Structure 1
Amino acid sequence: MIKQEPMIDIKCEPSDNYDTVNITCEPSNNYDTVDIKYEPSDNYDIIDNKCEPSDFYETVNIKCEKEDLQYQSYDCSMDSSYKKQENSLDFNVENGTHLLSDLDSCRTIKRQGWADSTSGTYRTHLKTYVKFWEDYKLKPVPCDQQQTVELYIAYLFDKKHFAYSSIRCYINIISVLHKMHDLKDLVADFWNIKHLLTGVKRELGASQSCKAPVTPELLLNVRKSLDKSNHNNVVFWASCLTGFFVFLRPNNFLVKGTFNPEINLRRIDVLSCSWGILLRLKVIKTLQFCSKPIEVVLPYLHDHPLCPATAMSNVLALAGDPLDPLFRLLDRSCLTCIVFLNNFRFILQHMKMDQLRYRGHSFRRGAATWGSKVGLSDSAIKLLGYWSSDCFSRYVDTDIEERLKAISTFSSLLPR
């Protein structure tokens, strides 16, 4: 298990040098993010920064507040959209309130530029980067020199013991922060950094630790361990088959946190047909902008224990209103992704299996592997899994039987 380090509160107070501020870090009660509030400082060209725990867990909130409208401009160093320009914004009593309101709206819209999963990933990467520059007393943005990036790579290599693929991901936060300030991307533009990453790749290798796929045999064993008369088990089993037959991670169709009718599935989003079930999804990772309807098919497999349409019909047979959450438990709470995965791993542990080898991705990986094994074409797998590129091939596990068949065919017509 990876021990998470707590996020920190960053408090900035006026320094003796009027061109900068002093930064002190204290432990935070909020491990996800911080709010950054800007208030006028004694130096009229800069502002004092105070960071407090945020109630908004998706991203960093940047708030600019002005106690006195007599100040002429602000320099919000965390976001290039609000930096002081050569022709600074003039605030006055008449238009200051409206302008601040527009800035709030702009910040709200910009937060939507990243998907929730991306925001969560950047939070994790930012936490590690903050710990690094705090320990080494370095300037985070902009980096003083490319050696700072090289030192961070060495820090991730020696101190954090990350894999090569993780190091590549974690240093991306430096690129993101610099782009936010309209600064040069040090990671992409310097040969020495690319060369150092090549050395890390050669030292550690580029292999990734992939989670085990969910197979049809595993699903059959899971089904045997469930009491089908239990309300919660009916909902859980339908979720298992939905993830497998729709090639989706559970967080693509289950609730993450609080139920949102604009995103999460309701009973009204399920349509029974003669051939099976038509499920209307709102948003998934590969189709985030609702550019077209996301309609997935759950076929009827008559008298088959893995029939997804039958499992979904059993969910619809439970008491509920059309606008209720689709995957609702007996206590009227929603089946969340975390609860689902915890229950799935508990069942695997009860079956004497290594439950740590399985995650939400295991359903998507298992579906792609099974599709390849039964002879589906690459285009068919991409269609069912909503892949727009060939990255799905990383999910497909080729077993030893297929390799043996291939080499037998290869060898059968050799001349004697």
Structure 2
Amino acid sequence: MASSPVDIHLFTDAAPSVDFGGFYQGRWFTSTWPPQVLEIPHASASSALFELYPLVVTASLWGKEWSASSITVHCDNEATVHCINKGRSHSPAIMPFLRRLIWISAFSFCLPEVQAAGTRSRPFANTGTSLFEADIPVNHPLKTLLDASLNSIIQAVSLRTLQSYLTAWESFKSFHLPFNIPFPDFSVLTITSFISFLNSSKNLQASSIKGYMSGVQFFHKLIFNSRSAAIASSQTFMLIKGIQRTQPSRQDARQPITLDILTRCISTLRKGYHSKHVDRTLDTMFILAFFGFLRCSEISTTSTFNPLTHPTVSDLSVVDSETMSFSIKQSKTDQNRRGHFIYIFNLHSPIQPYQTLLAYLHFRKSQTKTTSDPLFVDESNRPATHFWFQKHLKAVLLLSGIPADHFSGHSFRIGAATTAAQKGLSHSQIQALGRWTSEAFKSYIRSDRSIIREAHRTLISKII
């Protein structure tokens, strides 16, 4: 908990061509740029990166003094402020430093109290130099290897996950205060009471409570190098299950864009919905989203375009006269960026998926200078954003005579799974087509009333 609205003021600045520095409570530092920054390609070395790096250094130097404090960082770069507040960036050059900053925030600011708790209950696993504190001298023979270890550890937890864990940990800490419980207490009594508190006072759903428990478990493993027996206990499991049963289930209101709806939307586009450019772009995006079981984030952007993560002209290609491929560089289930290929085949269909993609590829190549340009662009030749895609999708649905309220960019993925199930594809086939790594795909399959009607008709005919 912060002792006041603002406890600490930090000041940093950077001159990309010279050096950087920082000031904190009468102390300061300045340095020339290290090789790890200078070696970043010029195209990726943005001003946001240069402004972020001094903050990482500042947190490394003095972060251990900031536990339970509210910190204001004075920065004159809006892009840096944005990526820190969001906790992520689409720039591959910025992400390692942003990860390091959040990692330092998690362990430099929280670890002192965690280590103190470890000594109260049982010995802390690393009573000497801590891997997470990284407090060995710069000239230590293992310093380089320690830095390498830290960089690898940072990659093990995504920024969003780490941020959610920190939220859970702060909530767990706050829970101790009014009850005068020494922090952190991992007894069954405290853990189950915390869960009931989250349910009754915070009105959290069981699924959210499970996420909080994952966060608390994460920090327990860091303190004791083992899982919490209380969190994994039968009592805790039954408590969460009981909460889940008492809460009304929330139905997913998103509607599927099935093959029939897709066909109607494509027909609207080909009759002339907007400009020729917009119609052709949406036509291709709709078809690719449906037949590729794609998430909206896999064909559009939410921030600055990055050719290393967002779709480019080179990602759509002709394999042979019967096949086209689309490369997905990364996705929700592919954080390691192994990549995945979606194939569109030259099969007979009224909406002609193969021919549509082939024509669009020729169209985009005639417009672009390099194949690293965005694959999908709006009427102003800017990368197609999530908002732009959703806006036009709803407009096309309305023109096609379909109420658009409960449709979104994700409706293509839901509709593809629903259509596949209706066509008799097996669960394993649907899971493979949608690149699902769990059975979550089952929640995407919707039961259409016409299908149920036909099933009833079959039942009646058998009875008669």
TM, length-normalised to structure 2? 0.64
Report what 1:371 is aligned to: 420
Report what 1:324 is aligned to: 373
**CA distance 1:124–1:247, shift in 2 (3 Å):** same
Equivalent residues in 2 for 1:8-407, closer than 5 Å? 37=59, 39=61, 47-49=65-67, 51=71, 55-56=83-84, 57-58=87-88, 61-63=102-104, 76-77=111-112, 85-88=126-129, 91-92=136-137, 94-95=139-140, 99=143, 103-115=146-158, 119-120=159-160, 123-124=163-164, 126-127=166-167, 130=170, 133-134=173-174, 137=177, 142-143=184-185, 145-181=187-223, 182=225, 184-185=227-228, 188-206=231-249, 208-223=251-266, 224=268, 227=273, 229-272=275-318, 273-289=320-336, 294-300=340-346, 304-305=350-351, 307=353, 309-311=355-357, 313-318=359-364, 319-320=367-368, 321-345=370-394, 347-348=396-397, 355=404, 357-406=406-455
Q: Deviations over 1:304-337 (max 9, x none)?
A: 3363640463254030122212123343432233
The alpha-carbon deviation at position 204 of structure 1 amounts to 0.9
Question: Which structure carries more helix by proportion?
Answer: 2
The alpha-carbon deviation at position 405 of structure 1 amounts to 4.3
SS in 1 for 2:344: strand
**CA distance 1:255–1:391, shift in 2 (3 Å):** same
Does structure 1 retain, via aligned residues, the 8 Å contact 2:300–2:376?
yes
**CA distance 1:353–1:411, shift in 2 (3 Å):** closer
Identity %, equivalent residues: 21
In structure 2, C-alpha distance between the alignment counterparts of 1:92 and 1:316, rounded to whole Å: 58
In structure 1, C-alpha distance between the alignment counterparts of 2:166 and 2:395, rounded to whole Å: 32
SS in 2 for 1:86: coil
Q: Deviations over 1:278-324 (max 9, x none)?
A: 22222333444455x62211234667336364046325403012221
Q: Report how many aligned residue pairs link the two structures.
A: 368
Letter in 1 for 2:326: L
Does structure 2 retain, via aligned residues, the 8 Å contact 1:266–1:323?
yes
SS in 1 for 2:231: helix
The alpha-carbon deviation at position 185 of structure 1 amounts to 2.7
SS in 2 for 1:188: coil
The alpha-carbon deviation at position 93 of structure 1 amounts to 6.0
Q: Deviations over 1:335-390 (max 9, x none)?
A: 23344234434555777866553344322111010011122233332332223444
The alpha-carbon deviation at position 246 of structure 1 amounts to 0.4
Does structure 1 retain, via aligned residues, the 8 Å contact 2:377–2:383?
yes
**CA distance 1:128–1:404, shift in 2 (3 Å):** same
In structure 2, C-alpha distance between the alignment counterparts of 1:406 and 1:128, rounded to whole Å: 47
In structure 2, C-alpha distance between the alignment counterparts of 1:304 and 1:391, rounded to whole Å: 31
In structure 1, C-alpha distance between the alignment counterparts of 2:215 and 2:391, rounded to whole Å: 30
Letter in 2 for 1:120: R
In structure 2, C-alpha distance between the alignment counterparts of 1:202 and 1:317, rounded to whole Å: 54
Q: Which runs of 5+ in 1 are unaligned?
A: 1-7, 14-33, 65-72
Letter in 1 for 2:275: S
In structure 1, C-alpha distance between the alignment counterparts of 2:213 and 2:186, rounded to whole Å: 16
SS in 1 for 2:317: strand
Does structure 2 retain, via aligned residues, the 8 Å contact 1:213–1:362?
yes
Question: Comparing 273-282 with 142-151, which one deviates more in the overlay?
Answer: 142-151
Letter in 1 for 2:295: R
The alpha-carbon deviation at position 249 of structure 1 amounts to 0.8
Letter in 2 for 1:197: I
Q: Deviations over 1:124-160 (max 9, x none)?
A: 5644663574476378973454444334433432344
Q: Which runs of 5+ in 2 are unaligned?
A: 10-54, 74-80, 89-98, 116-123
Does structure 2 retain, via aligned residues, the 8 Å contact 1:271–1:278?
yes
TM, length-normalised to structure 1? 0.70
Letter in 1 for 2:160: G
Does structure 2 retain, via aligned residues, the 8 Å contact 1:345–1:355?
yes
